[in-house]
Amino acid sequence: MSGADRRPPVRFPRDPAVSWAMPPPLALASHEGRAPGKVILVGEHAVVYGYRAIAASVDLFTTVSLHDRPGRSEVEDTDIWDARLGDALATIIPAEGVGVSISSELPTGCGMGSSAALAVAAVRAAARREGRTASFEECFERGMAIERVFHGNPSGLDHTVSALGCPVIFRRGERAVPLRLAAPIRLVVANTGTPGDTAAMVDLVKARKPEAELLRLGALTEMVAARLALGHPVGPFLHEAHWLLRRIGVSTRELDELCRAMEAAGAEGAKLAGAGGGGIVIAQVTPATEDAVRRAASRQVDDRVYTVSIGG
């Protein structure tokens, strides 16, 4: 993931490259696209059973820059190392004549929508290279092609949130609806560094059939939506959501300990965010508690801690 880890350029999977005796010019026009990551605030797993959930973009971004170059298109510089990267970008970027640079503030593989942010940023950069601005519809449709390379059959939620750049409330099978917040909320995000297995967690919940817990998780989504609209804290509802997710079997000891440590340090409430089995914990904080909560999280996950705003 580190940009300091210099690896050979990623070439697009197209016809053989044209060789050039001279390097490309040093001064090149660059066309940039930028898009945010996301978190699931509340409602994960319940959403599989027809209840609503809330997701929100966060102020951590991926930027894609495109410039003209001779010969075969290449990813020349990137913070994201993934064997599928060339195939993904080849869905929207020509096989010849484009140099690509990618910088990202988002961790990968933890449920923060890093591939979705890459997809939307790439679509926006490609449109700017053509002298125009990509619409939401274009970001959704062309971004889906990139997401399919990474995820096979994605729901479309992640890159919808990234393209809209705001909190949304959504129900499976329906279009996400932007959610108005009376005031921004601040979250500390702690990444365990252990990827979750979404399919395995969904199958586990299906086998257990925890109907009462899923019903309550669905109700929490509606209460959180109402409180966000009024500018009221939602921390206690995040706390309850985590322990319901624990009861249905998708938390881990590490996630539970992170929640306890962050709440003991002053967070208003903390929960796992995403499918579970690993991934991230989110905790609502205030300016007075933010630093203490960050320190508590860092003692358990080292430097994999981020502070983000939602709805700002």
Within 10 A of 166 (CB to CB), how many other CB atoms are there? 18
Q: Are strands 96-104 and 31-42 parallel, antiparallel or unpaired?
A: unpaired
80 backbone φψ class: left, alpha, beta (φ>0; ψ -120 to 50): beta
Nearest to 109 by CA among 311, 277, 295: 277
Which H helix or E strand runs over 100?
Answer: strand 96-104
Annotated catalytic, 82?
no
With a CB cutoff of 8 Å and minimum separation 6, the contacts of 31 are 65, 66, 67, 125, 126, 128, 129
Sign for the CA dihedral angle at 47, 234, 188, 105 comes to positive
Calculate the alpha carbon distances from 73 to 16, 29, 65, 88, 207 in Å: 11, 16, 13, 13, 47
**Catalytic one among 59, 87, 158, 203?**
158
Tokens of 17: 């490259």
Within 10 A of 72 (CB to CB), how many other CB atoms are there? 21
Residue 273 pairs in a beta bridge with 280
With a CB cutoff of 8 Å and minimum separation 6, the contacts of 291 are none
Catalytic residues: 158
